[in-house]
């Protein structure tokens, strides 16, 4: 039952294998696309990924740092430039103050100097106006998002607003002062020198001081901005350190993760493959490796599966062969049992396998035995006929001799005495020869060969019983080797069986030959006896002396008795032989034609 289930499963697997190449069985292929790649590529990719993460982290930090340094240096550059401008502006304010006072001094003294003073004041005014207006228009932090960002990084976002306020303050004080200075210049131009002097004293100086003060506040604030940028730089460095650590952790985790995935993929599948091989080792020939991925391990798994499929197929084939052999051996065994029971009509199935060939050999042997039996039967019949004939002849001869003896002894004339005596002598001699021949025939021609035949038959029987044991062994045989070995042994047994049968046949032939030869001699001697006796019988017993006559009669009677006794003995032997072949049933029509009658025996047979 389990065997058939197993076979069915194996069949299913075989069809599966036949339908799709095992290399294309994509179980869980999509779950880990990494496994599609060769192991070397997997490892390379893993390390490349880690290197990429590390490089990316380092690069990111580098870029951040470069970016930050760039921003900072730009900021510092701007601050420095602004500082230079504003310091120049401060100088211009101071110069305007000095020049204004000088203008008041020069007024009414030197018209030329006054003109120079005026133009100087105007040019200073426009210079300073350019500086402060340019600063307010272009250089405020909140007009530069990158600078604002940098300040925000340092936690000083509010500084931009303060700067704007201070710039507003500087601008306002400057505009107020400039209004007064313009008025001053107007007064000078209009030659209101007293008004101009008053304006210079009461308004010019304090407003110039205000403008200077506001400008100084702005310059000083730029100094604070510089230290704020320093704070921002420190804060960014901290951020970069954190980024570096995070990148390092990521790279580490990346390396670890990729390594873990790869090793998991490789080690787990190798372990699974190992389990499969071990399971097969322990007899679970159904076990198969799962093919995951397309890399080397997957290839090995496919190969192992294919190998297992092949091995299982071979096992299956062997098992089928063994079953077929066992069945054939069973059939052969039953045939042999039938034949062993005596029915020689059985015919074993013939095929190309060893058992079939065995059956063929068996058939040949049985056929030979069958022919031998038929021949034996024929021979027995012939012998039977001959012995009966001989007995009746001897009976007739004895009756004749008795009759001749009871009638008055024949007086034989002189002329025939000598011949009669000679004839008597030869008859006696012939008769004794016949007796000798019959005796020899009985001793050697029949009995000895029969004994040999019986021995050979014994041997054949032993051989057949050994064969039977071999068959039993074959039926229980499990492995192909055993089957082959047993089959060889059986072939040997059959050969020895065949040899025994052959010997039986030979012996039977020899016995037939000898018996036939002996009987021929007997027949010839009897003929010779019959021929010299004719004249005597025809002449009417003229030449025999009474003494001789009595002697002849006696001898003849003895001879006839001996012949009768021999033929009876022969009958007994024939009965024995008939009884010994009686259990064998053979087709009446021998396919190879009737056994040819041997020699002169045919004559007896036909009579």
Partner 1 sequence: MLALVVVAVLLAGCAGVNQSDQSLSGHLLVAGSTALQPLVTDAAKLFMQQHPQVHIDVQGGGSLAGLDAVTSTDPAKQADIGDSDVYADPADYPNPNLTDHLVCVVPFAVVVSPDIPISSLKRSDIAGIFSNGTIKNWDQLGGPDLPVIPIVRTLKSGTRATFRRYVLGGLDDNSPRAPIDSSQDVLKAVATTPGAISYLALSVADASVRVIDIDGIAPMLKNITSSTYPFWSFEHMYTLGEEDSNALLGSFLDFMQSSTVQSLAQQEHYIPIAAMQLPAAAITSQAGAGGVALGARAGEERTKL
Residue for token pair 């499929």: 309
Closest contact distance (angstroms) between CB of 208 and partner 1 is 9
As a whole number of angstroms, the distance between CA 21 and CA 443 comes to 82
Residue 272 contacts residue 67 (beta carbons within 8 Å): no
Question: How far apart are alpha carbons 571 and 562 in whole angstroms?
Answer: 14
Q: Residues 379, 604: contact at Cβ < 8 Å?
A: no
From the CB of 147, what's the least distance to partner 1, in Å? 18
Answer whether 328's CB lies under 8 Å from 357's CB: no
In DSSP terms, 585 is beta-bridged to 343
Residues 6+ apart with CB under 8 A from 467: 336, 490, 493, 494, 497
Binders in 174-213 for partner 1, by CB under 8 A: 175-176, 178-183, 186-187, 190, 195, 198-199, 202-204, 206-207, 209-210, 212-213
Residues 483, 484, 488, 489: is their CA dihedral positive or negative? negative
176 burial type by CB count under 10 A (0-12 exposed, 13-18 middle, 19+ buried): middle
292 DSSP 8-state letter: -
Q: What distance in Å separates the CA atoms of residue 273 and residue 279, rounded to the nearest whole number?
A: 10
* Of residues 214-233, those binding partner 1 (CB under 8 A): 214, 216-217, 220-221, 224, 227
Q: Which is nearer to partner 1, 238 or 303 (CB)?
A: 238
Hunting for tokens 């008597």 — which residue is that?
A: 424
Q: Using CB under 8 A, which of 169, 318, 395, 417 touches partner 1?
A: 169
Binders in 245-284 for partner 1, by CB under 8 A: 245-246, 248-249, 252-253, 256
Residue 123 found at the interface with partner 1 (CB under 8 A): no
- When the beta carbons of 178 and 375 are compared against partner 1, the nearer one is 178
Q: Which of 235, 272, 482, 580 binds partner 1 (CB under 8 A)?
A: 235
Query: 237 or 327: whose CB is closer to partner 1?
Result: 237
Residues 131 to 160: which contact partner 1 by CB under 8 A? Answer: 132-133, 136-137, 155, 158
Contact 268, 262 (CB under 8 A): no
Determine, following the binding rule CB under 8 A, whether residue 161 of this chain makes contact with partner 1. Answer: yes
| C-beta closer to partner 1: residue 161 or 436 | 161
Nearest CA-CA partner of 549 in 396, 424, 417, 433: 424
In terms of CB distance, is 58 or 306 closer to partner 1? 58
For position 461 contacting partner 1 by CB under 8 A, the verdict is no
Residue 587 burial (CB count, 10 A): 10
Name which position in 27, 41, 123, 165 contacts partner 1 (CB under 8 A): 165
Q: State the minimum distance, in angstroms, from the CB of residue 75 to partner 1.
A: 18
Q: Binding segment for partner 1 among 236-244, 293-301, 335-343, 511-519 (CB under 8 A)? A: 236-244
- CA 413, CA 543: separation in Å to the nearest integer? 5
| Residues forming the site for partner 1 (CB under 8 A) | 126, 129, 132-133, 136-137, 155, 158, 161-162, 164-169, 171-173, 175-176, 178-183, 186-187, 190, 195, 198-199, 202-204, 206-207, 209-210, 212-214, 216-217, 220-221, 224, 227, 235, 238-239, 241-242, 245-246, 248-249, 252-253, 256
């Amino acid at each position: 039952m389990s065997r058939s289930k197993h076979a069915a499963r194996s069949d299913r697997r075989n069809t599966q294998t036949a339908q799709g190449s095992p290399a294309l069985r994509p179980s869980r292929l999509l779950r880990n696309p990494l496994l599609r790649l060769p192991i070397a590529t997997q490892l390379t990719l893993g390390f490349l990924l880690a290197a990429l993460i590390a490089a990316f982290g380092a690069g990111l930090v580098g870029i951040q740092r470069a970016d930050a340094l760039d921003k900072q240096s730009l900021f510092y550059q701007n601050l420095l430039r602004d500082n230079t401008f504003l310091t120049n502006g401060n100088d211009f304010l101071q110069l305007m103050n000095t020049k204004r006072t000088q203008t008041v001094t020069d007024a009414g003294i030197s018209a030329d100097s006054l003109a120079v003073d005026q133009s100087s004041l105007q040019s200073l005014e426009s210079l300073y106006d350019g500086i402060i207006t340019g600063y307010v228009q272009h250089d405020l932090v909140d007009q530069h998002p990158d600078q604002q960002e940098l300040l925000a990084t340092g936690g000083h976002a509010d500084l931009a607003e303060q700067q704007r306020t201070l710039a507003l303050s500087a601008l306002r004080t400057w505009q107020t002062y400039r209004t007064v200075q313009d008025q001053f210049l107007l007064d000078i131009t209009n030659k209101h020198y007293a008004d101009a002097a008053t304006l210079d004293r009461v308004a010019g100086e304090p407003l110039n001081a205000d403008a200077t003060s506001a400008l100084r506040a702005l310059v000083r604030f730029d100094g604070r901005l510089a230290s704020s940028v320093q704070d921002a730089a420190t804060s960014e460095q901290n951020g970069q350190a954190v980024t570096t650590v995070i990148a390092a952790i990521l790279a580490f985790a990346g390396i670890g993760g990729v390594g873990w995935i790869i090793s998991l993929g490789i080690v787990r599948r190798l372990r699974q493959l190992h389990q499969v091989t071990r399971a097969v080792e322990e007899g679970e020939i159904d076990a198969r490796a799962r093919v995951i991925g397309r890399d080397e391990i997957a290839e090995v798994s496919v190969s192992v599966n294919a190998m297992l499929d092949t091995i299982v197929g071979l096992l299956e084939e062997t098992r089928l062969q063994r079953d077929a052999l066992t069945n054939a051996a069973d059939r052969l065994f039953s045939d042999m049992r039938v034949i062993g029971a005596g029915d020689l009509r059985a015919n074993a199935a013939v095929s190309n396998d060893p058992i079939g060939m065995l059956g063929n050999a068996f058939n040949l042997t049985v056929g030979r035995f069958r022919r031998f039996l038929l021949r034996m039967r024929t021979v027995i019949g012939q012998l039977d006929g001959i012995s009966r004939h001989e007995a009746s002849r001897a009976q007739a001869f004895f009756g004749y001799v008795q009759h001749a003896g009871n009638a008055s002894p024949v007086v034989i004339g002189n002329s025939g005495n000598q011949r009669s005596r000679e004839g008597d002598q030869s008859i006696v001699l012939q008769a004794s020869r016949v007796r000798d021949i019959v005796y020899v025939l009985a001793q050697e021609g029949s009995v000895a060969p029969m004994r040999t035949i019986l021995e050979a038959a014994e041997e054949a029987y032993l051989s057949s019983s050994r064969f039977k044991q071999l068959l039993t062994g074959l039926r229980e045989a499990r492995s192909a080797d055993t089957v082959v070995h047993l089959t060889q042994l059986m072939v040997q047994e059959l050969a020895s069986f065949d040899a025994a049968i052959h010997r039986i046949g030979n012996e039977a032939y020899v016995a037939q030959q000898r018996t036939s030869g002996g009987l021929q001699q007997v027949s010839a001697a009897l003929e010779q006896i019959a021929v010299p006796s004719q004249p005597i019988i025809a002449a009417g017993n003229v030449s025999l002396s009474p003494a001789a006559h009595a002697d002849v009669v006696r001898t003849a009677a003895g001879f006839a008795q001996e012949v009768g006794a021999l033929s009876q003995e022969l009958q007994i032997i024939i009965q024995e032989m008939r009884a010994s072949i009686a259990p064998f049933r053979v087709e009446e029509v021998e396919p190879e034609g009737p056994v040819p009658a041997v020699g002169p025996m045919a004559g007896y047979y036909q009579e």
